Amino acid sequence: MYEIFDYLNEYDIYESFYDLNQRFKSLLIESNLPIKIKFPFISKLNFYHYYRRIIIPNKHRITLFHVTNPFTLDLIFSSSFFILKFIRLQTLILDNMQATNLEDMVDYTIPYYLPNLSSLIIHVVDQIQVPNYFYSQIFSLPSLKYCKITCETKKDYGLSLLIDDDDDKYSSIETLIINDHIWLDEINDILSYFPNLHRLSIDYLEGIRNKQLKIDSINLISLTYVNLKVQCLDFNQFEQLIIGYFQQVESLYLSSRYDVDYLNANRWQQLILNHMKNLKIFDLYHIDLKRFDNNNSQEIYHDLIDNFVSPFWIKRQWFFTHHHKQQGNCHTGYFYSTNPYKRKDYTLYYGTDGNNCQHYQQTNFNKINHVRVCGTQSKNSIINYFPNVTELTFDLSNDSITINLNRIFPLSKLTKLVIECYQFPFKQLIKLLYSTVNLNLLKLRRTSIKDTEYELIQQSEFFQMISNKNMIKNLVIDECCTLKNIQLFVDLCPRLQQLTSGMNRKEFLSIVRFLLSKNDKNIQNLSFLCILHAPKVSLKEMKKFIKLEKVLENYSINHVDRKLYLWW
């Protein structure tokens, strides 16, 4: 039985077996085996049942917490629950959190009540106003080995301000992933705080801000893996970075743009031979944007990249390919490693002239799980196939889009679809959903539908078939929706649990009344609502409406960064 449980989420096990009989109940609450808790988006009542029946009795068994609902974070780790000391908790994942919700977590809960925490992953959706204390508290956690932080901080602040000058204070972190804005002139102070670092990843490393680059040779003997995305950082500064800190690195993953010196194969060869003698994996992705006054743009680009096929590169089995994107007189070149392509994300410029380039090579993309598709349709396009993609983002719109995409991806494997077109026809959306039967999350920027089409579409057999079979539980609509829009999408996605959308101010309360109605069977599973671009007064309006209409008894509500959140 425990072998079966290994293939199921802990909440699914609870839902399926807890009330089946006493034997299964005992298996769930009397075992000493470790458990991993990944909270789905469930109603507040179901959460309380799960918390009381599973979390509290098994607090000593929990090794992983994955929280995606900011309201549940408050309930689990609020002062009234401080008696719960999760002594075995090793991994904490806080996804889609608000900065204000994390202050007490970082200040009190984690240091005092999670003594064995070794892995921490935080994703903050709003801006951290004063990051100094936030970062310093996390970095000083004594048992932390793995830390991944995704957030946005004000550019006036820098991580160098967070590091204590006390020479006796160092971080125990071995893997550090920062998806935030870091300035190059801060890197010395940051790296000096992590002497045990094995793996480093920075999502946005920018050139010198307001002072000269300070390079102190730091002996990071354990650092073997570096992944950097650099912005406005010229190759001269990058060379100093390598020489000062990364000479011992064995794996280098680099995304760069604009500075053409990153395509200078001879400079790379000298840098690697003289200062990166341990390098085994070299993965480069470079975007070069140029404007040319003549028709020799591709030839100029090829003259640069042809030097990457010398014996030096072949001997190490470091191979590259490229493609072009041409719009008017603006020419963009994309140059990247291919043997094998190790990155999880890829941008496909579908139908652009560059895919017809005679130097272009087909590439094995088996490891890619997220593809962004841009461009326009072209009959002569050379198209790769991505067999394992589960997330797709695109801004294409043409009549045969579903057929074309199915030639590139196995659409039935997709679990997340993001459509960034400003006017994506609703009829095409339905056709696309026919092939994406396992979709869990759908995000739209804006759809186009005529007022006369609503009723005809909803009554069509094809619409009803898509509604009956699609598995969408999380829907995000960036546009300001009318009541008609919302009703249409609710009918299309009857298993919806989360809805994030803008709302027409004049119809705000009418939309809320519809979404909180207990009579419509298509919204029985809905329990979380995020209203985009909501003024502060909407919080007062919502509370007043709920009280007068008596539509909810137990709910949580909050307004943060022009977003109104409601959970019931």
Measured CA distances, 268 to 218, 274, 313, 420 (Å): 22, 10, 10, 37
- Work out the pLDDT band at 188, boundaries 50, 70, 90: confident
- Work out the pLDDT band at 9, boundaries 50, 70, 90: low
Q: Is 66 exposed, middle or buried (0-12, 13-18, 19+ CB in 10 A)?
A: middle
| pLDDT greater at residue 363 or residue 555 | 555
Bridge-based pairing state of the strands 91-97 and 146-153: unpaired
* Of 72, 116, 112, nearest in space to 94 by CA: 72
The C-alpha atoms of residue 345 and residue 347 are separated, in whole angstroms, by 7
What's the full length of the chain, in residues?
A: 568
* Of 411, 414, 468, 422, nearest in space to 444 by CA: 422
The C-alpha atoms of residue 383 and residue 362 are separated, in whole angstroms, by 8
pLDDT tops 90 at residue 503: yes
Torsions phi, psi for 487 (to 5 deg): -60, -40
Task: Check residue 394 and give its pLDDT.
Answer: 86
Those residues whose C-beta lies under 8 Å from the C-beta of residue 100, and which sit 6 or more positions away, are 560
**How confident is the model over 278-314, as pLDDT tens digits?**
999 999 999 987 755 555 667 777 888 889 999 999 9
In the beta sheet, which residues pair with residue 441?
416, 474
Measured CA distances, 401 to 237, 365, 395, 441, 478 (Å): 44, 21, 11, 19, 22
The residue type found at 351 is G
pLDDT tops 70 at residue 519: yes
**What is the pTM for the complete model shown?**
0.86
The C-alpha atoms of residue 404 and residue 409 are separated, in whole angstroms, by 9
Query: In 414-504, which residue ranges form alpha helices assigned H by DSSP?
Result: 426-435, 454-459, 461-469, 483-492
CB 162 within 8 A of CB 188: no
- Dig out the tokens for 563 from the structure: 């977003």
The C-alpha atoms of residue 316 and residue 319 are separated, in whole angstroms, by 9
Task: Check residue 161 and give its pLDDT.
Answer: 47
pLDDT tops 50 at residue 413: yes
**How confident is the model over 68-111, as pLDDT tens digits?**
998 888 777 765 454 457 788 999 999 988 887 787 777 777 77
**How confident is the model over 249-279, as pLDDT tens digits?**
999 999 998 898 999 999 999 999 999 999 9
CB 281 within 8 A of CB 304: no
Task: Check residue 354 and give its pLDDT.
Answer: 43
The C-alpha atoms of residue 252 and residue 225 are separated, in whole angstroms, by 6
* First-to-final CA distance of the chain: 34
Sorted by where each begins, the domain ranges of the chain are 181-339, 415-567
- Dig out the tokens for 295 from the structure: 């028709």
CB 94 within 8 A of CB 67: yes
Task: Check residue 375 and give its pLDDT.
Answer: 64
Q: Considering all CA atoms of the chain, what is the largest pairwise distance in Å, rounded to the nearest integer?
A: 79
Task: Check residue 119 and give its pLDDT.
Answer: 97
pLDDT tops 70 at residue 62: yes
**How confident is the model over 12-59, as pLDDT tens digits?**
666 667 667 776 667 666 677 888 888 888 899 999 888 888 888 888
The C-alpha atoms of residue 184 and residue 190 are separated, in whole angstroms, by 10
Give the H or E element holding residue 478.
strand 474-481
pLDDT tops 70 at residue 382: no
The C-alpha atoms of residue 437 and residue 195 are separated, in whole angstroms, by 48
Rg (the chain; Cα; Å): 26
Task: Check residue 288 and give its pLDDT.
Answer: 85
Those residues whose C-beta lies under 8 Å from the C-beta of residue 106, and which sit 6 or more positions away, are 133, 134, 137, 138
Measured CA distances, 330 to 128, 229, 326 (Å): 37, 23, 6
Question: 């839902």: which residue's tokens?
Answer: 15
* Of 174, 218, 167, nearest in space to 196 by CA: 174
